[in-house]
Amino acid sequence: MLVDSHCHLEYDSYAAEGDAPIERARAAGVGACVTIGTKLSTFPKTLAVAERYDNVWCSVGSHPDAADEESFTDASQLIAHAQHPKVIGIGETGLDYHYETPSQAAQATNFLVHIDAAQETRLPLIVHTRDAEDDTIAMLEEKMKRAPFTGVLHCFTGTAKLAEAGLRLGLYISASGIITFKNAEPLRDVFREVPMDRLLVETDSPYLAPIPYRGKRNEPSFVTHTAAMLAELKGVSPDEIALRTTDNFFRLFLKAVLT
C-alpha cells in the first residue's frame, strides 16, 4: 500500500463528499493518510477527521503563514495536544519567505518553539520551507546540536543543498505531485539522488494535483501518480516504491499504528 503522508482532509473542499475521498484512496491502494495541522485554532477540526477513520492520523502545529495570527512563547500547547493517540507529528511549521508577511522574526520564533515540542515529545517535525533555505538549515542545525529530533522536509521543492543538509541531519524528504510537472526537471534531479530509505510521498491535497490532474482539486488517491514518477526516477517498480515509502513512513512516525 501507499501512505499519503501529508494532506488536509479537514478543509471545506472535502466536506460535502463525506467518506468518498477516503474510499477512493482505499480503492487506489492508499491505505493511510495524515491530515496536517495548520493552526491551533482549527486543530479540533483536524483531530475530528483523524478520529473518524482508523487509517487517518493527524499532526498539531501552526503554519508559518499564520505566524502573525498565532504566536508561541513556549511549546506547552503543542505538547499538550500531542498527547492524543491520533497525533503523530508536530507541524507543519517552518519558514516561508515567499511573501513579505508574516514577518520573518515571527516565523522564526514559532519554528523554534515547534522544534522544542518535537524534541520534548519525540514526535517527528513536519517542516515547510520556501525561499528560506539558509535560515531553515541554520535553525535545524543549531537545534539538533542541543537535542536530537526526527522529521521530514515536506513537499520538497528545494535545492540539492537543502536536501543534503536535511539528509545529514537525519530528516526524510517527501515528494509531492510537483515532481510530475513538466518544468520540474531540476527537482526530479534532486530526487534521483535521495536514498530510497529516506523517501516519503504525499499529496499536500487539496493543493498541487499531479499530472494528469493538474489544475484540479487534489486528493489522497492521486498520490499514486507521484509514486509512479518516483519509481521512474529510481528505476524500480511502483510496487517497490510503495513498499519502501510505506516502510519509511512507519519507521519515522512510530506512533502510527494500523488496527
Domains of the chain, CATH where assigned: 2-252 (3.20.20.140)
Query: In Å, what is the CA distance from 225 to each residue of 5, 28, 150, 236?
Result: 14, 10, 27, 14
**Which pTM does this prediction carry?**
0.97
Kindly give the confidence (pLDDT) of every residue in the chain, 259 residues in length, as a single tens digit, with 9 standing for 90 and above: 999 999 999 999 998 899 999 999 999 999 999 999 999 999 999 999 999 999 999 999 999 999 999 999 999 999 999 999 999 999 999 999 999 889 999 999 999 999 999 999 999 999 999 999 999 999 999 999 999 999 999 999 999 999 999 999 999 999 999 999 999 999 999 999 999 999 999 999 999 999 999 999 999 999 999 999 999 999 999 999 999 999 999 999 999 999 7
Contact yes or no for 60/81 (Cβ under 8 A): yes
Terminal CA-CA length for the chain? 15
Helix axes of 185-193 and 223-234: crossing angle, nearest 10 degrees = 70
